[in-house]
Amino acid sequence: MSGPLHTALCERLGCRYPVVQTAMGWVSDAKLTAATCNAGGFGFLAGATIEPGTVDAVIADVKARTDRPFGMNFHMFQPNAEEVLAAVVRHRVAAVSYGRGPDAGTIRRLKDAGVVCMPTVGALKHAVKAVELGADIITIQGGEGGGHTGAVPTSILLPQVVDAVDVPVVAAGGFRDGRGLVAALAWGAAGIAMGTRFLLTTDSPVPHSSLERYLATREPSAIRVSTAVDGLPQRFIENSELMRLERMALPARLAMSAGYARKWGKEAGLRPLGMARLGLKVLRGGDNSFAQTVMAPNLPALVQRGIVSGDPDHGLLPSGQVAAVIDELESCADLIARIMDEARGRIAALAALTNNATGPTGKETD
């Protein structure tokens, strides 16, 4: 088997292989997104962390690097959400990814413009609701995944969602190679999505000081879930900053977040009233508590310190557990080529098992 594994995902997104690079904040930049697409996968640009006023320029940068279709993520509560949505439609971006923020009207606006809507969910009920709202493809992230994550492992969540919805399902959380791709296809997925594995490539913008910390983490148990950052469960590589946050009392974390919020609001050009309106929008737009909404500014400040400034000791390092079994950096081209070679090899081996079981005449042997 030498050709591509062409699935419904490839058909809908226009990519050669059923491999998706997720939209990681401050990581999925124009270079990484284009490198993924040029290698035959489908890359998502991290639109949720693009500075206001620069969205058009960043999309143009991707287009200058690749002629392949690509996607972009967004959050409805980001200050420049409308700028991102308008740019997606104007530039004919192929797909968008998002969480549970957009309403049916926003999704319809995107679909009417020919944009594939591809939310990421971590629970069965959220997958069903996303399809009801108009999602074209569902990405499920099992509990092994990085950043905000649920508690249900991929091996349980994926078959549940495949059985419950009538759109293609993409599997995320714990994938890094061709064996994982074949396993996901066997469960009924149309492909796999990976974040950490693409973060750990030579096309990644993450500084080497932080990449080395990822590669040095060899125990999956050291990549764990914590609610200390913004009150929601998130998976990070354990370090001194994460442990410091976990030792802090809630009032101290709220005070720290207020400081980060003032700084961020000033940089974003938001006055106190604008900040209050944004906080109310976040509070109303999901399942967040008041404390979680107030603590939300902790996350971007500390993650940027870890993966943008390259300070793995005093910043945070979002990561899936799969980082513990990744020991080298590859280019996106080499990574995707290897995944596809491994997948073809596993499929051939499975076919051989079937042939051995039925015998040369096609009848089952004793």
Write the pLDDT tens digit of every residue in 112-124.
999 999 999 999 9
**How much is the mean pLDDT over the chain?**
89
Residue ranges, CATH 3.20.20.70, the chain: 8-205+330-350
Query: Mean pLDDT throughout 34-46?
Result: 98
Q: Give the pLDDT band of residue 274 (cuts 50, 70, 90).
A: very low
* 300-341 confidence digits (pLDDT tens): 889 999 999 999 999 999 999 999 999 999 999 999 999 999
Q: Give the model's confidence band at 265: pLDDT under 50 very low, under 70 low, under 90 confident, else very high.
A: low
Which pLDDT belongs to residue 52?
94
More confident residue, 93 or 271: 93
CA angle 193-198-203, nearest 5°?
145
Per-residue pLDDT, 231: 82
Q: What percent of the chain is modeled with pLDDT above 90?
A: 76
Mean pLDDT, residues 182-206: 98
Fold of 8-205+330-350: TIM Barrel (3.20.20)
Backbone angles phi, psi at 5, to 5 degrees: -85, 95
342-351 pLDDT per residue, tens: 999 999 999 9
User: How far is C-alpha 43 from the chain's CA centre?
Assistant: 10
Query: What is residue 360's predicted lDDT score, i.e. its pLDDT?
Result: 55
Residue 142: pLDDT band by 50, 70, 90 thresholds? very high
Q: pLDDT (tens digit, 9 = 90+) per residue, 239-261? A: 999 999 999 887 776 676 666 65
What integer pLDDT is reported at residue 280 of this predicted model?
46
Mean pLDDT for 141-150 is 95
Could you tell me the pLDDT band of residue 272, with boundaries at 50, 70 and 90?
low
Indicate if the pLDDT at residue 290 is higher than 70.
no
Predicted pLDDT at 288: 47
User: Which tens digits make up the pLDDT trace of 63-112?
Assistant: 999 999 999 999 998 889 999 999 999 999 999 999 978 999 999 999 99
Q: Residue 3: its pLDDT value, please?
A: 61
Confidence of residue 270 (pLDDT cuts 50, 70, 90): very low
Over residues 263-275, the mean pLDDT reads 51
